[in-house]
Structure 1
Amino acid sequence: MTSRLPIIDMHCDLLVYLTDVPNPDMNKVEEIGCALPALTEGNVKLQVMAMYSATESGSTNYAALQRDMFKVLADSDNSLTSVTNNKILQQVMRQSGSVGMVAAVENASGFCEENEPLEDGFKKLEKMIEICGRLLYISFTHHTGNRFGGGNMTNDGITTDGKMLLDYLHGRHIAVDLSHTSDALAFDMLTHIDKERLDIPIIASHSNFRPVWKHNRNLPDELTQEIIRRKGLIGMNFLRAFVNDEDPEALLNHILYGISKGAEDVICFGADYFYTADSTDLSRIPYYFKEHEQAGTSYNSILSRLQEQLSQEQLEKLAFGNARRFITNLWSKD
């Protein structure tokens, strides 16, 4: 690998940082690993910007702030470019120093509160799509459950509203993200999609592999195989809690394990960078191993370490190829 490969990353929380942290600065690499200088240094060509909300009163207002921040960034005179179609994607992949961005929803509570009519939630979702240009994917839940189903720290499956949300997404060229679902919800979603013959792509935007590190946020083999079968994506998460408590080398083991299980054409990056300085959970500190703590150095380091185990083609698939193929195919249906 003579030069840094272009990178597509499927998940970060820069929008939360810019709307929720006092005096934020998207140029402060020391505060968040996906700061703009780090993305540029790391040769990130497309960064998915998640709009996150907890499932609680006011969740839609919280997400709306991030929605509007995405628009501000898209309209600002900076190095960020809103990517809403394949032509723009091709442009940012070629341009030096340019970072593309596309919006996603992390927890459907961001557009639909627990006690409001579902139709009103769909209207807010449409508003998100209008302001952001498009959404790449939607996660139904976060770690807790909501009106759509069980989060990854529950055993609950899909609800009637969850099935209605899937029906609504049919043919809309928005992927559904399994990274924060319970196993029960994930399998229920797949069952409903197949039963109703819905046209909905499936991904896990920022999840690793449970046989390598046992955590509810990581994928069991059965879900990994479903994503492979459906030609989705699995984004490797850099958070220590989902990699290994002690060994940074385990992230390489996740990647190699996935490829050994047939995920060569779906594996990509989903680093999950977010602001951690206000954390009260001391058990999670440090959130990232030193090797993985910011985008400017992490991707290149990982790819360099894998050169002896993977071919150049495999490295390119991991860095950008698989994600670009998925997105290009998804958007070619527009």
Structure 2
Amino acid sequence: MTQKLLTTASLSIRRSLGVYTSRFVASSSHYVPGKLPSNTMTGYTTSTAPAPVAIPGLTLAAQSADVAPKKKPYVPPRIRNRRSKTPSGPREEDARQVRASSPPKVPSDESGGVPNPTPQYMAQAHLEPHRLEQPRRILIVMDLNGTLLHRPNKRRPFHFVERPHAKAFMSYCLDTFHVAIWSSARPDNVSKMVDQLLTPEQRERCLLVWGRDTFGLCQADYDARVQVYKRLTSVWSDPRIMGAHPAAQTGGKWDQTNTILVDDSLEKARSEPFNILQIPEFSGLSTEMPNVLPQVHDYLNNLAHEADISRFVRQSPFKLDPAYTLEQTPAKEKASAKAE
């Protein structure tokens, strides 16, 4: 039995949901634009095993051999015929390649080192989930690069490719939940990414927009490819975030019960490992699954009904459904027919 997720009686949210607000049709696994979302979820499977959290380590160089390497026979250099040289086409490792696969360095102690979840956090997350009768506006901490956008070419640092549905997804989140943006990119890059995704009015509605300068990194780590950690306690202690809680005046606060980090990196959520909705890194390729964000949308709607997000995520972490499809609206069907 389905019911409307977000009603005016439950959240008193006045908004225009546009074509992105939806319902889920259980019989066909289709996401139908133009209707209110139901409580039925897709895109995840129940699991009692906690999500693994890897500890980044340093790759040690191989030990040197006891015997000196043998000298290679001399090979004269090849003389190239410059006139017959054919111009090379675009390189295979196009701008849309996935970011460097070599592991980032471990942050120094000066930058805070590697965090671990507290015993209190883990104890609470391992309690049984409890579903609320009415949904509530949860806090979403949104990543940018690799999650909503991809920068295909470092030589064009302000050119980004959007993940399918990125703008509609962000618009929905801003209308429905509390949203903070936190990226490990440098502040000028963060600003450009936000400008591409959001209107000025939407940007003002974000509770905060943070970049690399908010991780507490020392200068050497700031300039290096170092692993960063999104300690949600930093977000929860920010004055604007604290003031945005609907019960702030009576002691209400943001914590592991009502906050979710949307990111492509599980390691970044090491300090709160059951408050992350991890999605595959977006690298701008046409072969990637197109309907990732609609499934994230459905999962977030379900989290709005949970009394403690960390308990629910521990038991039922987000999983993509490769068979998930979107039904076309009549307007889109006409446009497709015209194009043909």
- TM-score bracket, shorter-length normalisation: under 0.3
The structure with the largest helix share of the pair is: 1
TM (normalized to structure 1)?
0.28
